[in-house]
Amino acid sequence: MPDHETVSVDIPSRYCPLPTLRHPEEGVMARRTAEWIDSFGLPLTAQQRVRLRGNDCPGFYGRIMPRAPSDRLQLAVDWCTLMFHFDDVHCDEGPTGGRAARFTHLATKIVRILEVPQAYVDGPEEDDPVLAPVGDLARRAHRWATPTQLRRCADAHRAWFLAVLWELGHRAAQSTPTLNDYAHMRQHTAAGAATLCWAEIIEGREIPERELSSPPVRTLTELAFTTAAFDDDLFSYGKELWLEHAGGSTPSGLSLVDVLSREHDCGRAEAMERAVELCNRLTHRFMTLHHQILPGASPPLRDHLAHLAHLLPGNLDWGLTADRYRNPDGLHPDAVTTTATRTCSPPADTSPPPIPSIAWWWDPLDR
């Protein structure tokens, strides 16, 4: 594809009546995270540095926690910056041969360092240089977090890494998962819990387990993580099209649009319509549950509910502007333009979708 060719995608109207808020110190956090990454001397190419900046992690987390103190929020911004790089290098790109083994070797060490920061501090030379900044993140987290929060953090990363292995299996087999499987796995392949676990540490208040693990709160949390991840699929649709045409790459099949296209034997345009309809239905269910759960929530749980409510509109806003999707390879600024409109009008169909793995999200709250 010649450099001047671009891809434009218009996402059908997304139902999301929640407002988007921004953190006032995103620029400060961007400078700090760049300095933090540089301090470890990671062997980054110029292209990788462009992509790291383009991910706009301060903008991403600044929309989830717009009122958090920037010095504490910096922990999540630094994690996000490092993990986007880790995801690009070890999860999404490069040859599939041997990738699962390399990924597993590194992922198990990351989890152990999060549990025990002194583990692998001076690892063998063949270990990935990403482990040193992971160790720094872990030590910072251990200074602030409760034992329960640290356990939740490690468990969230295990869930993410297990889901990535599931994804790598499909990539190696060049297979597309069923909608039923993809619907419940997408929150994990997108690192939903691993992303939000830092918010509880940053807030400094432990959410009571009886509340966090209750079916209604689990439902609400899974709804938010899955909807945001499905929206990521909509943002990355144009990026995948551009890479497909530019480098002749084969679509991975690990996208909501691709899954729906295969499931319903339809073209990409219809699959996009179906994807947005599903996202709108999930958002409506989230809004209904959020209003029902909020009045009886403890202060720490209210923090969590607020983060989830900021995540949905914030992720929509971030995904349409981040260079992660607009500059697919770090070499072609504005190669992809994705536009979308938001509406406050509820979708016509708010019933549970015919997807067994997530249908329980519509169960009554008093079950």
Beta-strand ranges (E) seen in 162-247 are none
Q: Is 265 left (phi over 0), alpha (psi -120 to 50) or beta?
A: left
* Lowest-confidence region among 96-100, 230-234, 299-303, 347-351: 96-100
Interval 341-350 mean pLDDT: 96
Closest listed residue to residue 275, CA positions, set 321, 316, 231: 231
Residue with tokens 């383009």: 54
pLDDT in tens, 125-154: 457 889 999 999 999 999 999 999 999 999
**194 beta partners:** none
| Domain limits, the chain | 7-362
**Beta-strand relationship, 336-343 and 7-15:** parallel
Looking at the predicted structure, is the pLDDT value of residue 249 above 60? Answer: yes
Nearest CA among 237, 243, 265 for reference residue 179: 265
Nearest to 207 by CA among 272, 290, 262, 145: 145
pLDDT digits 0-9 by tens, 60-114: 999 999 999 999 999 999 999 999 998 887 776 555 556 788 899 899 999 999 9
Q: Average pLDDT of the chain? A: 92
Q: What is the spatial distance between Cα 256 and Cα 183, in angstroms, rounded to a whole number?
A: 8
Q: Is the pTM of this model over 0.85?
A: yes
The topology under which CATH files domain 7-362 is: Farnesyl Diphosphate Synthase (1.10.600)
- 17 — pLDDT class (breaks 50, 70, 90): very high
Average pLDDT over residues 185-189: 98
The residue type found at 275 is A
pLDDT in tens, 194-219: 999 999 999 999 999 999 999 999 99
Q: Which two tokens stand for residue 293?
A: 């759960």
Across 317-323, average pLDDT: 94
Q: Under 8 Å CB-to-CB from 169, ≥6 apart: which residues? A: 100
Closest CA to 171 of 243, 242, 94: 94
Rounded to whole angstroms, the Cα distance separating 309 from 63 reads 10
Predicted pLDDT of residue 96: 55
